[in-house]
Amino acid sequence: MAEKKRRFAVLTGGGDCPGLNAVISAVVKTFLQNGCEIYGVPNGFNGLVNGHLIPMDFASVSGILPRGGTILGTTNRDNPFKFAVEENGELVYYDMRDRVVENLQKYDIEALVVIGGDGSLNIGAKLARECGVKVVGVPKTIDNDLPCTERTFGFDTAMAMATEALDRLHTTAESHHRVMALEVMGRYAGWIALHSGIAGGADVILIPEIPYNVDSVIKKIYERKAAGKNFSIIVVAEGAKPVGGEMTVARRVEGSFEPIRLGGVGEKLVREIEEKTGIESRCTVLGYLQRGGSPTPFDRVLSIRYGVAAAEACLRGEYNVMVSLFHDKIVTVYIQKAASTPRAVPVDSEIISTGRQIGICFGD
């Protein structure tokens, strides 16, 4: 009698991110090449609650490596421990953990690969801890803010996009003698702003980790003017906040892993600069362009390495871990640790002092 094949499942959760398809492709191929079966879970944890898993083969992942988004679909709602169901026009929340466990058993899934940011990894860690589900996590997010890894996939692509935007903004800034601000994503961490700002030759970089004083920013603009530079470029992270002030909240999203969305600080900042200096100032919000489209070669390679490593961890039965980049090696870390406090930019880091040495103002 033919031996029963080991069977695994993979899901993508949270916001889309360049490299998701590359990870999926690597996970699927590694399992298939090692004689296992692999199922895709549609639309993140929603698919686990609803229980319609899809068998995947080599054809399912053919040609997806360079594609943005996720062929499995995703959502940043649908937490199975607090699952929102609309009843009479109102959201009612249910604990669906038993349904998730039943569905995994129904499909005879040995373990689940969760490709996600902190929201999805936290759910994965909780499923492991409280329900005995075997989980392997893969660190995804353009924000690069996950602890226990030196890099998340997606960050490099977002940074490249923001850098290109800065290069393009230089044109208008220089021609019109304006102050041009670029607001970038990153949630509560300034990684995208910091790296793209340095790569894109920004004069001012404002990140959540260093509250800014608008007068310091204006001082920098005047110093440049005095040196014959009639324009300035500012990169402002969506989570940047003035000294003694708050982050700018764009909206609240009911039922999401993370109820708050940031946004709007860039526009506030340029209005204040214009009022105080009379210099024409504009803000561009880069938004979802940072998350869309094809991953960079670096992100493709990292995603493939993560996908292979996640499947390999499952094959050797090493569960409840997240794959992680450490000193350019892929290692595994305990998923509960990886699903803890987000990783902020250390204010005393070498990259900040590098920026300071070349004259970048951090608003302090």
Q: Is 42 in the site for ligand F6P (CB under 6 A)?
A: no
Helical axes 97-106 vs 118-131, angle rounded to 10°: 80
First to last CA, the chain: 71
Other C-beta atoms closer than 10 Å to the C-beta of 54 total 14
Question: What one-letter code names the amino acid at 264?
Answer: G
Residue with tokens 């001082």: 219
The residue from 136, 142, 314, 352 that contacts ligand F6P (CB under 6 A) is: 142
Q: Is 273 in the site for ligand F6P (CB under 6 A)?
A: no
Q: How many CA atoms lie within 13 A of 263 on its CB side?
A: 11
Q: Is 208 in the site for ligand F6P (CB under 6 A)?
A: no
Q: Quick one: 51 or 255, whose CB is closer to ligand F6P?
A: 255
CB of 142 to ligand F6P, least distance (A): 5
Element (H, E) at 284: strand 281-285
Q: Candidates 86-94, 103-111, 183-191, 205-213 — which segment interacts with ligand F6P by CB under 6 A? A: 183-191
CA distance 148 to 290: 23
> Taking a C-beta distance cutoff of 8 angstroms, is the pair 237, 188 a contact?
no
143 catalytic? Reply is yes
Q: Candidates 35-43, 139-147, 219-227, 351-359 — which segment interacts with ligand F6P by CB under 6 A? A: 139-147
CA distance 140 to 17: 7
- Give the single-character DSSP code of 290: G
CA distance 310 to 339: 16
The residue from 143, 183, 203, 209 that contacts ligand F6P (CB under 6 A) is: 143
CA distance 10 to 60: 13
Q: Quick one: 17 or 180, whose CB is closer to ligand F6P?
A: 17
Site string for ligand F6P, 91-130 (x = CB under 6 A): --------------------------x-------------
290-319: contacts with ligand F6P (CB under 6 A): 291
Q: Is 261 in the site for ligand F6P (CB under 6 A)?
A: yes
Q: Which of 159, 160, 146 is nearest to 114 (CA)?
A: 146
The residue from 136, 185, 221, 269 that contacts ligand F6P (CB under 6 A) is: 185
Q: Quick one: 30 or 248, whose CB is closer to ligand F6P?
A: 248
Q: Which of 225, 304, 276 is nearest to 65 (CA)?
A: 304
Residue with tokens 């709602």: 77
Q: Is 232 in the site for ligand F6P (CB under 6 A)?
A: no
Q: Is 15 in the site for ligand F6P (CB under 6 A)?
A: yes
Q: Is 225 in the site for ligand F6P (CB under 6 A)?
A: no
- Give the single-character DSSP code of 248: P
Q: Quick one: 117 or 355, whose CB is closer to ligand F6P?
A: 117
* List 16, 78, 143, 145, catalytic entry: 143
- The catalytic residues are 143
The residues of the shown chain that bind ligand F6P, judged by CB under 6 A, are 15, 76, 117, 141-143, 185-187, 238, 253, 261-262, 291
